[in-house]
Structure 1
């Protein structure tokens, strides 16, 4: 399930809409015990991760050595998949097991069902590279943890979760994720505090996209050299987007040029971009030198949501940010609402005047 947005541009920003579409020998080493305990399944380079996953009991650890492995790994039980760092590399192989769950093109896919999420899966200390869709993908998950993962040159997203709660994306590096976002959270009325912290995203269309989701926490990340640093998007669906806290992030020089292609609009030179959304908090971030010539280029930019609802961005707080050197403005409020609060931001230019 991939979700992103489209826009048409006139004298001012006119969003055309948001589109939703589907993305397209190991050894077991465990001490005997009378009580069940986690077993460790050691998988050597070139051997099948999927066989180890199928063999494992809930709670087991799949330990990968440094080397290359086939991706397309489908997980439907509580497990930890752990590598030896960036030299443990998953790349596309001969068989895509994620296709069994209608999630083709993923490196590792964790797939549950409505009202029956897959719980407590951890993916850490490995690389996912060159997948057509997403490096690490969660769908109907609870407490999916992805940490110390290098997601590089994947076609849609680096790391993403849909319809999932209490996720944790921490200390990952997401680079060149193709047409969409390095990190993505979406399609959840209440994410129950999904955490995005300590990540570095560069070379993506968007560093982080939060779309049609609420209750997400984003802090201490670096978004640099993308087309847009962070995008919060109300795509017009019931429930909207909101209640997301963004604080103490560095968001700078997101000046790449991404051409429009369905369903994504052109993106260029924006630090933090809100298309609609309500009750979001943007505080104590460093947002600098994001420079572009699009109607929604600039430092921190608030716009209406998408047609036909065109819901305003309202009741958002923009406070205590260091917003300097952004073009055409440091702060922009074209939200369609007078309920947003701009307070104590260090900036030099705004539209309308007086926000700094």
Structure 2
């Protein structure tokens, strides 16, 4: 295994990748570099920069993603990715690690700061700002997002596929929805703050939402369709259009328990379907009455 330094050994990251053998490391010094692709015949590469704002991926190939990963078990860390028309970082493989990466100002139509299309990928301390979507998980399962920030995007976090986890992350000040979940996703210890629409929008079923802070959105948590979700021990305050937790008429068999709600308008808890379990929620108002303790 060898270490290849850009721009000392190779002028571009892509040249270093093309020369490297599987398992090699590529170091980016301070500077601005073109985008790159990790092809599927180069697994186990480690690509690392000097840090956010120091090693910057910006520029050609125009009209593409800044980084595309096709190989499994790639590790990328310590970079800023910015200004690409299709998106910042696209992962189309499995078991990769993204750490300490900022993806910013990728502002085409439906552009993502981070787009995950594989499984068993790990994102640690990644930041997405001023993109269309902060982060989407479009396909693949068992992706783990930890201590990430999605801020000032149009949409914050969107999990389309199942069995993913968003843990200890901040989704805040996005223009529209903060967090959108389809099914079988775990959301734990995170915050959804001051987003322009719904803080946490649960579309389908079997999601687990525990010990999160949902504050100052238009609507706090909304359960929309199907059911069997668990909403447990969240703090939900100052959401001011459709209440703190809103349960629609077409979702049932949800468990909504031990949440703390306050100062939500028009009610802390709203349920249009009685076929749900409400237990131990500390709140000041509900519709229908009687859902609070």
TM-score (normalised: structure 2): 0.83
Per-residue displacement from partner, 1:157-209 (whole Å, max 9, x unpaired)? 1011112200111101111112xx211101x3xx23x1101111111112210
Match of 2:42 in 1: 57
Structure 1: distance between partners of 2:285 and 2:223: 18
Q: Give the C-alpha shift of residue 37 in structure 1.
A: 7.6
Q: CA deviation at 1:222?
A: 1.1
Matched, 1:277 2:226: yes
- Distance in 2, matches of 1:343 and 1:55, equals 50
In the alignment, which of 167, 189, 195 is matched to residue 220 of structure 1? 189
2:17 maps to which residue?
Answer: none
Aligned length: 260
Question: 1:197 touches 1:220 (CA, 8 Å); kept in 2?
Answer: yes
Note the C-alpha offset of 1:57. 2.5
Matches of 2:270 and 2:121 in 1, distance apart? 35
Alignment match, 2:77: 82
- Aligned pairs (5 A) from 1:90-101: 90-93=81-84
Q: Distance in 2 between matches of 1:317 and 1:291?
A: 23
> Is 1:301 aligned to 2:287, yes or no?
no
CA contact (8 A) 1:143 1:165 kept: yes
Q: Which residue of 1 aligns with 2:177?
A: 206
- Unaligned runs of at least 5 residues, structure 2: 1-5, 11-20, 59-64
User: Could you say which residue in structure 2 is the equivalent of 1:263?
Assistant: none
C-alpha displacement of 1:123: 1.5
Counterpart position of 2:156 = 182
Q: TM-score, normalised by structure 1?
A: 0.69
Cα distance in 1 between the residues matched to 2:138 and 2:80: 24
Secondary structure of 2:115's aligned partner: strand
Instruction: Give unpaired runs (5+ residues) of structure 1.
Output: 1-24, 29-35, 94-103, 112-117, 234-240, 255-268, 305-311
1: distance between equivalents of 2:207 and 2:278?
Answer: 16
1:113-192, aligned counterparts within 5 Å? 118-132=93-107, 133-139=111-117, 141-155=118-132, 157-178=133-154, 181-186=155-160, 188=161, 191-192=162-163
| 2:81 and 2:88 in contact (8 A); partners too | yes
Contact 1:41-1:56 within 8 A present in 2 as well: no
| Structure 2 CA distance for partners of 1:284 and 1:55, relative to 1, 3 Å | closer
1:288 is aligned to 237
Q: Give 4+ residue runs of structure 1 displaced > 6 Å after superposition.
A: none
- Native 8 Å contact 1:68 1:89 kept in 2: yes
Deviations along 1:198-232, one digit per CA (max 9) or x if unpaired, are 11111111221013xx2211110011111221001
Deviation at 1:108, TM superposition (A): 0.7
Q: 2 CA distance for matches of 1:206 and 1:197?
A: 18
Cα distance change of structure 1 residues 55 and 164 upon mapping to structure 2, 3 Å threshold: closer
CA apart distance, 1:339: 2.2
Distance 2:105 2:271 in 1: 38
**What is the root-mean-square deviation of aligned Cα atoms in Å?**
2.0
Deviation at 1:72, TM superposition (A): 2.2
- What CA deviation, in whole Å up to 9, does each residue of 1:32-73 have, x standing for no partner? xxxx9832111232234516x349831121112223212521
The residue correspondences of 1:343-354 to structure 2 (distance < 5 A) are 343-354=279-290
Question: Which residue does the alignment assign to 1:46?
Answer: 32
Q: Secondary structure at the match of 1:72?
A: strand
